[in-house]
Amino acid sequence: MAHTDLDQTAKTILIENDQGGYTIPTKGLYPYQWNWDSVFVALGFAEFDQDRAWREIEMLFQGQWRDGMVPHILFRKDDPSYFPGPSVWGTDGGPIPSSGHSQPPVAASIILDLVKSDRTGKGLERAATLLPQLMAWHRWYLIYRDPKGKGVMAVIHPWESGRDNLPDWDEALRAVEVKDIAPYERKDTSHVDPAMRPHKEDYDRYLSIVAACRKVGWDPAKVAETCPFFVADPGITFIFLRANRDLLDLAERLGKAEEAAEIRGWIGLMKAGAETLWNADLKAHVAVDQRSGQMTDGISSASFLAPYAGLRDADTLGALQDHFDRIASKVRYMMPSYDPDHRCFEHLRYWRGPVWAMINYMIARGFAEAGDTARADRLRQDTAALIQTSGFAEYFSPETGAGAGGGSFSWTAAIWLTWASPTHAQQAA
């Protein structure tokens, strides 16, 4: 299909997944508003309807909890095609029924992008309205996902990382006792080939973590203290460090000196904290179980987000470039979600190998900002080739390029429109 036809298909996907101001990731598999999906979707809408892009993010923030958390799913209406729904989560933290934890905090970064590309004349004003909500969410992350002030963000559930069944979670997840779960029927495997989804043993533990947090009433301090899963994630840490830099830019544009000073403190803390995720043997940042102290032994696509977070020293960048080239010699399409040389790599199973368009977008941005336009271009070209070959799939095999997971996927369409489409690249040139 010509790339201009794909531009049109991408727009149609966003419009058809629009539920009246917020967008579902895809029909059937994910019928609600997901946090980071929604925020990436705003980038896609911004290409043809900036007002609608802002609306997407504003509707997400309507679900913010009283304690500042912005939930990973907003259950705006009941949909039996998804499990686990609101009754399993049993939350009461905000104005809209929701799940009980958050997701990668990309919002500040994308809001800054919307402000910079604003054609409505209202961008900065809309950002000003959202600033207190962003500050509250970021404070919540720092207090409850880094209670010891180490400068790295933990996740209390693999789903909070957005990278559900990443091999990095395997060991910490195995330590979670399966208990307090009622018999249940998964819905995901009725929409998607089970070979592309997490295993039942994973689901038992996902639900056991939810049960443990429900037991303490989703009180964030108690969750941080008692949750059976508490693992520092390089993905969230780097996305959050970047988001803080972008939030600082927003606060400065808005003349908010007090907020800016507070954010500068967060950035300093996190720059130092990120070093604790550095695995010197692997020469990459990895996950660290905050309960056991155990460091993981694999490189994930999030390891390549260090430059996106602003960590661009020669040692880090050089090590990542070497890993990039080694991995590129093993797979046809970059960037697999897990190292193809690792024993846990599976090219089609969700986060254990497949390529995700929005991760490629963030990695490429970091590499380009670090001056490595060659590797950034490679990521853009591979993302475009995957979509041109296999359509707007949720994720793709790095080996064959086959599309996997859900189809007509909103964030894949959005990333096409904002970055991967040759139309966009020509305009940018």
Residues in touch with ligand DGY (CB under 6 A): 72, 159, 164, 188
Marked catalytic residue, from 56, 160, 394, 399: 394
Q: How far apart (Å, rounded) are the C-alpha atoms in residues 353 and 336?
A: 5
Name the residue number minimizing CB distance to ligand DGY: 159
Radius of gyration for the alpha carbons in the chain, expressed in angstroms and rounded: 20
- For residue 296, the minimal CB distance to ligand DGY (Å) is 20
Residue with Cβ nearer ligand DGY (3 or 157): 157
- For residue 236, the minimal CB distance to ligand DGY (Å) is 14
Contact criterion met (CB below 8 Å) for 231 and 155: yes
- For residue 72, the minimal CB distance to ligand DGY (Å) is 6
DSSP 8-class letter at 80: T
Residue with Cβ nearer ligand DGY (68 or 85): 85
Tokens of 37: 């999906």
- Three-state secondary structure string covering 325-358: HHHHCCCCCCCCCECCCCCCCCCCCCCCCCECHH
User: Cis before residue 335, ω within 30 degrees of 0?
Assistant: yes
Tokens of 250: 């927003």
- For residue 210, the minimal CB distance to ligand DGY (Å) is 11
What are the b/e assignments for 198-225, b being 16+ CB within 10 Å?
A: beeebbebbbbbbbbbbeeebebeebbe
Active site residue 394: yes
Residue with Cβ nearer ligand DGY (7 or 188): 188
Residue with Cβ nearer ligand DGY (206 or 266): 206
How far separated are the first and last CA of the chain, in Å rounded?
23
- For residue 188, the minimal CB distance to ligand DGY (Å) is 6
Marked catalytic residue, from 18, 164, 188, 289: 164
Active site residue 225: no
Residue with Cβ nearer ligand DGY (151 or 162): 162
Element at 73 (helix H, strand E)? strand 73-74
Q: Which residues are catalytic?
A: 164, 394
